[in-house]
Structure 1
Amino acid sequence: MGKLICDSTASSPVIPWRDPTSTPSSIDLVDTSSWENVSSLEDQQRKHLTKIQSKGVLWKHPQDQNVSMVFRLSHGGEVEADGNCLFTACGKSMGVKTVSCARDLRRRTVRRFLEDLGSEKEAIESAIKHMYSPDLKSGWGIHVVQELKLLAKKDDREVLESAISELVHLGMQRELAAESIYKERCIAVDDGPSWAKYMSISGSPDDEYDIITLQYTEEGLLTVDENIYGHAAAFGDDIAIECLATVFKREIFVVRN
């Protein structure tokens, strides 16, 4: 996955949009060698990114289709493939590479989200519930595996573990016991306030909550990721991207291969 972060308020470096059959001039050619040096990419991904880099990405104004712009994609460097990748990438694009920068961007994202939540609360919370607390009675025609995200307070982990162990001693399977206790005592990510708590988690010992993930197939519980050491971070989703874009008054594009 590559990210385009472009300043929509300034004069951005752009290239003319070309049809696939047109022949680019020497002026339009760009250096695509950077993608050859990205070891984590598959051949097909590298091919697609090289094509996007040489062609550009067309953006049209959502309210006025006559207003358009072509942005250029470039490789800005490697980031760890963890939950902090969106925020780390944004920090790198601003020339800041510290861990504290990524955490600060998380805080600013969450703060902006809470400030704007009231305007479209019902639609936003419906989207949150769909992503993190889906109805397990439906959706199986689209998904093979569905996940429930729960938040466990770090301070409560020993108490939760003790409760799970009690059920195990009574003869219950460990994963079923964990599912029962976590669903009963942890916070489901299904509304604005719980999303704010979730998106604040960077996998740091300073986090207030740990992420618990329950995975299901149509047949029932598949796995329980208890995240015992609290290293899991919340991946930046579409809501987080929109909040970041608003904070910095920029267009943020995610290019998927």
Structure 2
Amino acid sequence: MGKLLTNSAAVTETLNPSPSLLQWPEAAPVHSPKDADMAAAAWAGVSGLDEQLRRRLEMIRERGVFWKNPRDAAAPGVAFRLDHGGDVEADGNCLFTAVRRAIGSSVVEVRELRQRAVRRFLEDYGSADGSEKEAVDVAIRHLYSPDLNSGWGVHVVQEVKLLAKKADRESLDAAIQDLVDLGLQRELASESIYKEQCIAISDGLSWAKYMSTSGSLDDEYDIITLQYTDDGLLSIDENRNGIAAAFGDDIAIESLATELQREVYVVQAHGLDAMVDENTCVFFLPHRPRVQICEHPIFLFMKGTGKESFF
């Protein structure tokens, strides 16, 4: 059971770091002191960074990041220097574009990398037992088919994702028009038809169809997005030009890590609007493969600046 904090002394005591928390050591940097100037130059040209965040990233580059294979206790550790490798456009393909560039592949195309992640997921999902599949399905429903009767204490807007077959768009439009002719408001008519006739992303198989969608004319499906507030339907993105792609999520990242046999770290950065202090404005989110680790990790830098980056 939690405790209610009613005085400033208790709050201060609670917020003080516990001795068990890992703090960034004040030891000598992994690299020579002259690397400080190089670190500053490396991040100086990156747009959208608060000054505190920029300093933290410069320090991480100067000191390096130590990595050790978590499944091989005898293997030596490796220190990485994280340089900013460039930006990728923040469209639905940004994860796969960043991974492709981070691994230095000029052979594998972005769409192929997406399909490899989906195939890997389907293999693992197909071999999972009932309880494992149900856990995955629950996570998928939470992401793409949320219960609109709850969650409003956290979210202002919630989205429901649906898949419409490209070949069915004309028949869907005709069904919507039939309801409009009967006097129903077009937006409500569209919501009704899409929810009735399109595919909800609610389990592993429908997730695979969704994550296969890259915004290409060759896709089988178009992504429809229904946005809700606690008052009801807010808007519908019908994606009539079919260019919306499925953004890579944690499930896709884990599948990529498994396919590439290496850990993938999302380096999450927060600006002044979200950080507690400078020491907590950057953290590393590991995605571990479900197979043996055979390669060094890759690091993907993520910040809400309109673009994604990689190291």
- TM-score exceeds 0.5: yes
- The structural deviation recorded for 1:116 is 0.3
Contact kept? 2:31, 2:63, Cα under 8 Å: no
Partner of 1:27: 32
68-77 or 118-127, which deviates more: 68-77
- Say yes or no: does 1:124 pair with 2:136: yes
Give the aligned residue type for 2:121: F
Contact kept? 1:148, 1:215, Cα under 8 Å: yes
SS of 2:225's equivalent? strand
Find the aligned partners of 1:83 and 1:163 in 2 and give their Cα distance.
29
Any stretches of 5+ residues in structure 2 without a counterpart? 1-21, 270-311
Partner of 1:72: 81
Structure with larger Rg: 2
Superposed CA offset, 1:35-60 (max 9, x none): 22223x23255444334333444667
- The structural deviation recorded for 1:173 is 2.0
Superposed CA offset, 1:125-157 (max 9, x none): 111111111111111111111111100001111
167-176 or 128-137, which deviates more: 167-176
- Say yes or no: does 1:102 pair with 2:110: yes
Task: Give the fraction of aligned pairs with identical amino acids, expressed as a percent.
Answer: 60
Equivalent residues, number: 239
Higher relative contact order (CA 8 A, sep 6+): 1
Give the aligned residue type for 2:122: L
Any stretches of 5+ residues in structure 1 without a counterpart? 1-16
Q: What TM-score comes out, normalization by structure 1 length?
A: 0.83
Find the aligned partners of 2:90 and 2:26 in 1 and give their Cα distance.
36
Instruction: Let me know the Cα RMSD of the aligned residues.
Output: 2.7
25-34 or 169-178, which deviates more: 25-34
Residue 96 (structure 2) aligned to one of 70, 87, 97 = 87
SS of 1:196's equivalent? helix
Partner of 2:201: 189
160-169 or 178-187, which deviates more: 160-169
Superposed CA offset, 1:157-198 (max 9, x none): 111112112222332222211111100000000001000000
Partner of 2:156: 144
Contact kept? 1:79, 1:89, Cα under 8 Å: yes
- The structural deviation recorded for 1:94 is 2.7
1:1-257 to 2 correspondences below 5 Å: 19=24, 21-22=26-27, 24=29, 27=32, 29=35, 31-32=38-39, 33-39=41-47, 41-44=48-51, 45-57=53-65, 71-96=80-105, 101-117=109-125, 118-119=127-128, 120-257=132-269
Distance 1:169 1:105, change over 3 A: same
Find the aligned partners of 2:105 and 2:78 in 1 and give their Cα distance.
27
